[in-house]
Structure formats: C-alpha cells, structure tokens
C-alpha cells in the first residue's frame, strides 16, 4: 500500500514543533512535560531520522542515495522518482510539504510515521 501525506508549510512547521529528540529517538511532545532546549526538532534533526529526503534547507544527498540503491537516472526528478518508488514499495511513507518554492519531500519509515502521529496507531 502506497502512502502519501501532504501537509501545508504551516502544518509541517507545527508538526516539527510538536516533536522532541532524546537519546536519538524522535517522539511526540506531551502537554505538561518539560523539554530541554537541545531536544528541539528542526529539519536538520528530522533529516537524521528520514530514510530519504528532498529539501531546499537540508541536503538529502539525492545522488548518493540513488547510488546506494544501485540505480541511475538522467536527472534529479527521475532520481527522486526511483528513490520514492523504492521506499514506498517497502512500506515507507512519503510526506510532501506544499507552500515552499522548492520541493520539500520526506520519506519516513512506517513505524516512525505511526509513532509521530502521521499514520493511525
């Protein structure tokens, strides 16, 4: 089953603000809990948990990822299409963020997406 989730730029920012990272694990913030400043999640932190990404702010190493998959492509669009197809076929989730000038797309493992509330529990 292929899963694509589309968020607005504001919803993406709110999503990131609702997360924290502790001991290399991302999780949802809980009301009433206190979090240290170094537990804040931004796109840089999130990139460490993504299977693959395409972002104007963070270098997702598109060509390195494609090479890891032992694939080739004539251009970035074709490369991203192959990367996306590879991960979606393995149960991952594609998060597309609308509202930016450049593509903002993140591929997350199903378990992570579920734990972070992007998929039903």
- Structure confidence by residue, pLDDT tens digits, 17-52: 999 999 999 999 999 999 999 999 999 999 999 999
The fraction of the chain above a pLDDT of 70, given in percent, is 98
Residue 115 has pLDDT above 60, yes or no: yes
| Mean pLDDT over each residue of the chain, to the nearest integer | 95
Model confidence at 11, pLDDT cuts 50, 70, 90, reads very high
N residues, the chain: 121
Residue 1 has pLDDT above 60, yes or no: no
Residue 69 has pLDDT above 70, yes or no: yes
Determine the average pLDDT of the residues in 79-87.
97
Determine the average pLDDT of the residues in 74-96.
97
Task: List the end-to-end C-alpha distance of the chain, in Å, as a whole number.
Answer: 16
Res 121: pLDDT = 76
Contact 106, 95 (CB under 8 A): yes
- Residue among 96, 66, 68 at smallest CA distance from 78: 66
Res 2: pLDDT = 59
CA–CA distance, 39 with 18 (Å, rounded to integer)? 11
């Amino acid at each position: 089953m292929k899963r694509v989730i589309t968020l607005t730029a504001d919803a993406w920012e709110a999503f990131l603000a609702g997360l924290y990272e502790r001991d290399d694990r991302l999780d949802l913030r809980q009301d009433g809990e206190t979090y240290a400043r170094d537990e804040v999640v931004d796109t840089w932190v999130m990139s460490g948990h993504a299977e693959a990404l395409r972002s104007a702010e963070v270098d997702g190493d598109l060509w390195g990822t494609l090479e890891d998959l032992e694939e080739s492509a004539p251009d970035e669009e074709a490369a991203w299409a192959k990367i996306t197809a590879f991960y979606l076929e393995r149960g991952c989730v594609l998060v597309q963020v609308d509202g930016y000038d450049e593509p903002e797309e993140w591929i997350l493992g199903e378990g992570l997406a579920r734990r972070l509330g992007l998929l039903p529990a």
